[in-house]
Structure 1
Amino acid sequence: MKTAAPACERYLAEAAAAGLVEQARGHRYVVGVHEDPLSNERRLLVEYCDEELLTDLAWLTRLVEQARALEPAVAAVVVRAPGTVRLDDPWQRTISYVIHPADSADAASGAPAVPGVTVSPAETAQDEDRITEWLARAMVDGSADHGHTADPATAVPLARECLSDPDRFSYLARLGGTAVGHATLLCAAQDEVTGRRAVELVDILVELADRPRRGAVAAALTSAALAHAHRLDLPLLGHVVHPSAQSAADHGDRIVAALLTQGWNLDHVFWRRSLHPSR
């Protein structure tokens, strides 16, 4: 049996104690039913597996059969895989996690100036209300990309819960004194599987109709987030949601490809296989 890194071994020991570790051909994987808090969709989630299993078509087929045998309410199988692994159709990417090293020159360079726009920490109750609204909207829009649009009444409490984290920090972009965008960070994030610490870029959103200026403001907010992570001597972890609609299937891939030219690395990907052809 392949030996995992020490942090993974700790995770695997805890998963085994919870009865979540199974084996296939001498390789381990952690599997259980997970309910998405936004859509309430139930999925068979493989949060960890020895990498050799990801090229084992018989094992992947067995996962689908296992999910179908569990209960009718399980709608999909979701597998976490390293960024170096790509699964074939009918598996689809749902979320790609990208990471930017803490010691890069980009992380220390600071935010580029955008005429008329300032980027500064969120401070007031009004700022918090605006960020809550934006974060809840991002959750609803992201769930729609996966084919299960969340109820805003569910998203708002989840957004507030995220913003109540003691290590949360938000930047606001202002144009003429009006907030037009935010970048929200969790500054003490830790990967449950690998144990790696990072600053997580939970969400970045800019509400401007002018596309070039919107892109410039988003770049300024991203740069502020990178500088923040650099000051903490931690990498910045972000994510890209991949739309499930066939017409937009390569949209997320294009975003990831662009990020890889800007100092980011592809860390890991969640792949999904629906048990229902229409979803």
Structure 2
Amino acid sequence: MSTGLDMYLRGAEEAGLLGRFAGSPYVAGSYEEPVRGELQYLVTYVDPDLAASCAWWAELPGIARTADPATRAVVARVPSDHRPPTPWHRYLTYLSYHGAAAVPAEAGDHAPDLPEVVPARPEHEGLIVAWLGVALSNAALCHGAEDARPQEDVLKSLLDHPGRASFVVLLDGAPAGHATVFCDERDDVTGEPIAELFDILVEAPPADRRRATMALVSAAARHAGARRLPLIGNVVHTLTGEVDPGERVVAALRSQGWRPDHVMWWLALDEPTRAAGTSAHREDTGR
């Protein structure tokens, strides 16, 4: 019986996107990243044997340049328990939620010690658009975009996205943040149906923000659980500077019931890579 991955690899081969290195498959092609306008060689699947191979990581920049000499960067999707060699940078970390809130509650929409969360109403749409704009701007800045302002048509497409569900958290009776979930998504590689937690944002002092965020995650997890869908979120990492705040965010999420699923790694093609055999290794993700 064919799996989702088998079907994905067959489709990639038919599209001319399937490659092999030392007999192991990978899927890759050119992609223009819309925020930065960066031409990337996007590797959407890496066989686990390749993910652990220093020789593969050493050859990948050359493979990308051969595919398209105009390529500016390589982005590769890798299982969370593998780490490519220096100087690859984390780009996005995808996590699945396994906290207590993933089990649908029998009564009530929020725990007594958490703020109230309500399904978004039409009067909340202006706030949600603004909050989504902040999220997209922050992500663009993390990835080094010069103009981080999201286009209005992009924001409208998110608001009109099929399967969108938005929730609003109330502090002192007033809207203070949102969680927006897309429930018609599928994992690009496995084909598994998922609920994507596209964004959570809370505008409140730190203590209230933590409680409000927990309440929003609970609401999103119950919404996904009622549809028998895993809840998947992501953390955007900073490509500029020596400190990546995303690392701390991932560590905090792991303590709250989130488990890393896979990581998108980024490499600028003007960065030198280490010699083969030095740095690719497995990581303990606690899965």
Q: Same fold (TM over 0.5)?
A: yes
Q: CA deviation at 1:79?
A: 0.5
Find the counterpart in structure 2 of residue 112 from structure 1: 111
Q: CA deviation at 1:69?
A: 4.1
Q: Please report the TM-score for the alignment, with normalisation by the length of structure 1.
A: 0.88
Among 138, 142, 160, the alignment partner of 1:141 is 138
Q: CA deviation at 1:121?
A: 0.7
Distance 2:194 2:17 in 1: 26
* Matched residue type, 2:238: P
Residues 1-279 of structure 1 correspond to what in structure 2 (within 5 A)? 6-71=3-68, 73-101=70-98, 105-108=100-103, 109=105, 111-113=110-112, 117-124=115-122, 126-154=123-151, 156-208=152-204, 210-249=205-244, 251-277=245-271
* Matched residue type, 1:16: E
Q: Map Cα deviations across residues 89-128 of structure 1 (whole Å, 9 max, x no partner).
A: 1011111100024xx633234633467x43101111x311
Provide structure 1 residue ranges, at least 5 long, that are not aligned to the other structure.
none
Q: CA deviation at 1:11?
A: 0.8
Give the helix-richer structure, 1 or 2: 1
Number of matched pairs: 268
Stretch deviating more after TM superposition (70-79 or 176-185): 70-79
Moved >6 Å (runs of 4+) = none
| Identity between Structure 1 and Structure 2 (%) | 37
* Matched residue type, 1:122: A
Provide structure 2 residue ranges, at least 5 long, that are not aligned to the other structure.
273-287
Q: CA deviation at 1:70?
A: 4.8
Distance 1:14 1:191 in 2: 15
Give the alignment's Cα RMSD to 1 decimal: 2.2
Q: CA deviation at 1:188?
A: 1.9
SS in 2 for 1:198: strand
Q: Please report the TM-score for the alignment, with normalisation by the length of structure 2.
A: 0.86
* Matched residue type, 1:270: M
